A and B are shown apart, each in its own frame.
Chain A
Amino acid sequence: MLLKFIVAAIGASTPLLFGTVGETLSEKVGHLNLGVEGMMSIGACAGFMVGMMTDSFLWAILAAFGAGVLAALIYAVLTVTFMADQNVSGLTLTIFGVGLANFIGIFMLGHSPSGTLKLPDGITAQMRGVHIPGLSDLPVIGELLFSYSPFVYIGIVIAILCTVFMRKTKAGLNVQAIGHNPAAADAAGISVTRWKYTMILVGGGICGIGGAYCALIINGGVWISNNVGGLGWIAVALVIFAKWKPLYAIWGSFVFGALRVLKYYVPASVIQLPTALYDMLPFVITALILVVSSMRKKRDHNIPGSLGVNYFREER
């Protein structure tokens, strides 16, 4: 039962991992993008529709990434170029993204003879749990490590790549400098605007893949409206939980995923708690972490210093 719980928790953590890593990239350059839910919805819609038409998992992923990039482009143009308020732009993107995805979904349903949109068998087979001969058959280890949908491995690889980029490359350090003090970075000759765009767009694309996970896996390959179901908002909270580190996002999203499925795996014979209490847990923990980190005397150096503040070059 514990094994099943861990497997379910990893499944539940995957969309959160994509959302968190994507949002971290955006926040690293000082842009708080509250549009994660919207970018995930657009990614979900694009991934699902392309997956249904091409019957190819690869195309579905690419489409989700591309759609996420386009959605983030709206936000980037508004906040980087036109310096619009970041909170308002992000919220607008969420409302727009969820609405657009539902609109396209309903339009497609109207043109579906069976009245339901379901992925064909080919893609379903490609995206279900992998099976590596030998490894997947090992007892316990096989199920624990080698039984997941390709999404899980893609997510972990992306998180590791982002960490390496941030910590080990010159460009990554430059990006962090932009987040902490864009004026200083600008003076040091770093192209602030170019890197802001790059990070926000790539972050949006990663969120889009997380959305595709919701549409393709969580909802069993059947289209429903509002299929991201608020997971994007949890990802925004998780960025704080993971202290703006993509590697921590892996553990953070696992903890949140585990807390989300916990209520289904705690036997009622052991303890019976109201379901609302379980739903509350991830957010109580986030609040606690915020309290603890603000109580420490040492200032947290992980928070990008310019987070939420647009950079206006002429006001340096």
Chain B
Amino acid sequence: MKKLLSAMLAATMALTMLAGCGSPSNAPADNGTPAGDKGTAEQTGKFAPIAKEDIKVGVIHITDPAEGSGYTYTHDLGVQGMQKNLGLEDSQIVRKINVNDSDATAIQTALEECVEEGCNVIFATSWGYMDYVEQMAAEYPEVLFAHGTGYKSNGENFTNYFGKIYQARYLSGIAAGLKTQSNKIGYVSAQGAENGECTSGIDAFAMGVESVNPDAKVFVKVTGNWFDPEGEGQAAEALISSGCDVIAQHCDTANPALAAEKAGVWAIGYNSDMAEKAPGAVLTSTMWDWSVYYTKAVEDAINGTWDGSNYFGDMADGLVKLAPLSDLCTDGTADAIKAAQDKIMSGDWDVFDGKTELETNTGEKVTLNGADYGTCTWYYRNVEVA
């Protein structure tokens, strides 16, 4: 009898505890769904405004932003910038770090946790999260999801964001083209010609080089890996030993720039300003300022202007930029870059406008629209795979 009683007591206790847990986590969802339906009628956006104090932003990072450089760090600077711009509390940002983008369980858990912790806007920063974000967006139609890089979206609560980094690469090509004396410029690329993100960047860079130095050639070496510290340095060393005297890069570590510094040649950095790491070599760096997009996206959620459209930012928005030119640049670099930058910023001209015919290194004529950068699998005429 005593046993039965204690079992029943325990069961009652467990039930009350469950109920206690349940109500707060249900509450925001209950408020969210009906409001979402009402919103479409009176707002320009597809979702109702969310009061600033109710906003909770989830971020899924592939590594740890505390590493102080590289891809995740740059994204997290953007999140911090957004937090400052909008005056959000620390408790309103939920970070999931070291979420391996090829580990399905880890990705799903991270996304689920964000939703359970009450996030109403979730940013997934790495390519490999794409399919899982798509599933989650279908499962939780009241939560807003945005996925960086990639190409999928649903026009409602799942959008895609990226930017015209090729504009900054074009400008950095001007710095490299003016600096080189051997007329050989090296480029360490994480992925081969089949990857449009890398390839379009190389083409834009090469066009920038050609605009000031038609004699110079761009030599590409591919590591085949987004993170390969040893290979990135080795590729740069191989380029330098074949006579390249400026090394540009599309990979995660600063090792190409450091290899250039060691060999006494010059470098163009990527992601963050690599002049901090290799001050003896870096001319400038092509950089992202993700705070521009993160601020806009969260603002849209607050104002109820989230319209489900994809974001493809550019230099005029400030999403894409060039680090301050170092003293190592040739005289006149600043003016040449300024002239090209003004054309880009005014919107009169773009590197890839979808109309101008460009010649590939196999002699074909092609056009490329900036937004279709992912389809770019050809190299510009002054590019050579070394």
Q: Please list the residues of chain A having a beta carbon within 8 angstroms of any beta carbon in chain B.
A: 1, 4, 8, 11-12, 102, 105-106, 109-110, 112, 114-118, 128, 214, 218-222, 224-227, 229, 231, 260-261, 263-265, 267-268, 272, 274-276, 278-279
For residue B139, which residues in chain A have a CB less than 8 angstroms away from its CB?
Answer: none
Pair B255/A8 contact, Cβ less than 8 Å: no
For residue A118, which residues in chain B have a CB less than 8 angstroms away from its CB?
Answer: 277
Give chain B interface residues in 57-98, CB to chain A under 8 Å: 63-64, 66-70
For residue B384, which residues in chain A have a CB less than 8 angstroms away from its CB?
Answer: 268
Q: What CA separation (Å) do A16 and B222 show in the bound complex?
A: 22
The answer to whether the Cβ of B359 comes within 8 Å of any Cβ in the partner chain is no
Give chain B interface residues in 164-196, CB to chain A under 8 Å: 192
- In the complex, per-residue mask of B356-386: 1 if CB is within 8 Å of any chain A CB, else 0: 0000000000000000000000000000111
Given contacts A106-B67, A275-B192, contact A264 B262 (CB under 8 A): no
Which residue of B is nearest A218, CB measured? B230
Pair A12/B230 contact, Cβ less than 8 Å: yes
Q: What CA separation (Å) do A231 and B228 show in the bound complex?
A: 11
Given contacts A109-B66, A114-B276, A224-B67, contact A260 B230 (CB under 8 A): yes
Chain B interface residue count, CB cutoff 8 Å, equals: 39
Pair A116/B69 contact, Cβ less than 8 Å: yes
Pair B67/A225 contact, Cβ less than 8 Å: yes
Pair A221/B258 contact, Cβ less than 8 Å: yes
The answer to whether the Cβ of B49 comes within 8 Å of any Cβ in the partner chain is no
Contact of A264 among B68, B221, B253, B278 (CB under 8 A): B221
The answer to whether the Cβ of B286 comes within 8 Å of any Cβ in the partner chain is no
Pair B258/A261 contact, Cβ less than 8 Å: no
Q: What CA separation (Å) do A252 and B253 show in the bound complex?
A: 28
Shortest beta-carbon distance from A4 to chain B in Å: 4
Q: What CA separation (Å) do A224 and B257 show in the bound complex?
A: 14
For residue B231, which residues in chain A have a CB less than 8 angstroms away from its CB?
Answer: 260, 264
A–B pairs, 11, beta carbons within 8 Å: A8-B237, A109-B67, A222-B254, A222-B258, A229-B229, A260-B234, A263-B222, A264-B221, A274-B192, A275-B223, A279-B224
Given contacts A8-B238, A264-B238, A274-B224, 8 further A-B contacts (CB under 8 A): A4-B242, A8-B237, A12-B230, A220-B254, A224-B69, A229-B230, A272-B385, A279-B225
Q: What CA separation (Å) do A67 and B68 show in the bound complex?
A: 25
For residue B66, which residues in chain A have a CB less than 8 angstroms away from its CB?
Answer: 106, 109-110
For residue B258, which residues in chain A have a CB less than 8 angstroms away from its CB?
Answer: 219-222
Given contacts A115-B276, A275-B222, contact A219 B255 (CB under 8 A): yes
Contact of B68 among A116, A220, A274 (CB under 8 A): A116
Q: What CA separation (Å) do A118 and B239 show in the bound complex?
A: 24
Shortest beta-carbon distance from B24 to chain A in Å: 33
Pair A4/B241 contact, Cβ less than 8 Å: yes
For residue A275, which residues in chain B have a CB less than 8 angstroms away from its CB?
Answer: 192, 222-224
The answer to whether the Cβ of B261 comes within 8 Å of any Cβ in the partner chain is yes
The answer to whether the Cβ of B119 comes within 8 Å of any Cβ in the partner chain is no
The answer to whether the Cβ of B148 comes within 8 Å of any Cβ in the partner chain is no
Q: What CA separation (Å) do A226 and B63 show in the bound complex?
A: 11
For residue A128, which residues in chain B have a CB less than 8 angstroms away from its CB?
Answer: 262
Pair B386/A267 contact, Cβ less than 8 Å: yes
Which residue of B is nearest A105, CB measured? B67
The answer to whether the Cβ of B235 comes within 8 Å of any Cβ in the partner chain is yes
Which residue of B is nearest A102, CB measured? B64
Q: What CA separation (Å) do A214 and B386 show in the bound complex?
A: 26
For residue A260, which residues in chain B have a CB less than 8 angstroms away from its CB?
Answer: 230-231, 234
The answer to whether the Cβ of B259 comes within 8 Å of any Cβ in the partner chain is yes
Pair B235/A264 contact, Cβ less than 8 Å: yes
Pair A220/B262 contact, Cβ less than 8 Å: yes
For residue A279, which residues in chain B have a CB less than 8 angstroms away from its CB?
Answer: 224-225
